[in-house]
Amino acid sequence: MVVPYKHEPFTDFTVEENRKALEAAIKQAEADLGKDYPLIIGGERIMTDEKIKVVNPANKKEVIGYVSKANQDLAEKAHKIADETFDWWRKTKAQFRADILFRAAAIVRRRKHEFTAHLVKEGGKPWKEADADTAEAIDFLEFYGRQMLEIDKGVEINSRPIENNRFHYIPLGVGVVISPWNFLFAIMCGTTVAAMVSGNTVLLKPASATPIIAYKMMEVLEEAGLPNGVINYIPGSGKEVGDYLVDHPRTRFISFTGSREVGTRLFERAAKVHEGQKWLKRTIIEMGGKDTIVVDSESDLELAADAITYSAFGFSGQKCSACSRVVAHEEVYDELLDRVVQKTKEQVNYGDPTDNSNYMGPVIDQSAYDKIMDYIEIGKKEGKLMTGGKGDDSKGWFVAPTVFADLAPDARLMQEEIFGPVVGFTKAKSFKEAIEIANNTEYGLTGAVISNNREHIEMAREDFHVGNLYFNRGCTAAIVGYHPFGGFNMSGTDSKAGGPDYLIHHMQGKTTSEML
**Sign of the alpha-carbon dihedral angle for 60, 362, 443, 143:** positive
Beta strand pairing status for 422-428 and 402-405? parallel
Asked if residues 176 and 246 have their Cβ atoms less than 8 Å apart, the reply is yes
Q: Which helix (H) or strand (E) holds 196?
A: helix 186-197
Residue type, 266: L
Q: Which residues of 425-443 are buried (b: 16+ CB within 10 A; e: fewer)?
A: bbbbeebeebbebbbebeb
CB atoms within 10 A of CB 152: 15
Shortest CA distance to 20 belongs to which of 315, 356, 352, 353?
A: 356
Quote the CA–CA distance of 237 and 244 in Å, as a whole number. 10
Catalytic position from the list 8, 122, 129, 320: 320
346 part of the active site: no
* Rounded Cα gap, residues 397 and 482, in angstroms: 34
What gap in Å lies between CA 454 and CA 462, rounded to an integer? 13
Percentages (nearest 5) of helix, strand, coil residues in the chain: 40, 25, 35
Of 385, 380, 440, which Cα lies nearest the Cα of 410?
A: 440
Rounded alpha-carbon distances, angstroms, from residue 110 to 107, 120, 129, 144, 304: 5, 18, 19, 19, 37
State the distance between the two ends of the chain, measured CA to CA, in whole angstroms: 35
Computed over its alpha carbons, how large is the radius of gyration of the chain?
23
Neighbouring CB atoms inside 10 A of 29's CB total 21
- At residue 271, φ and ψ (nearest 5 deg) are -75, -20
**How far apart are the C-alpha atoms of 66 and 473, rounded to whole Å?**
41
| Number of C-beta neighbours around residue 163 at 10 A | 11
Collapsing DSSP states into helix, strand and coil, what is residue 36? strand
Residue partners of 377: CB distance under 8 A and separation at least 6 = none
What does the buried/exposed string (b/e) look like for 361-383 if buried means 16 or more CB atoms within 10 Å of the residue's CB? bbbbbeebbebbbebbebbeebb
- What is the maximum span of the chain, computed from C-alpha positions, in angstroms? 77
The single residue of 8, 129, 286, 417 carrying the catalytic annotation is 286
| CA separation, residue 43 to residues 80, 81, 226 (Å) | 13, 10, 10
Catalytic residue list contains 455: no
Catalytic positions, please? 286, 320
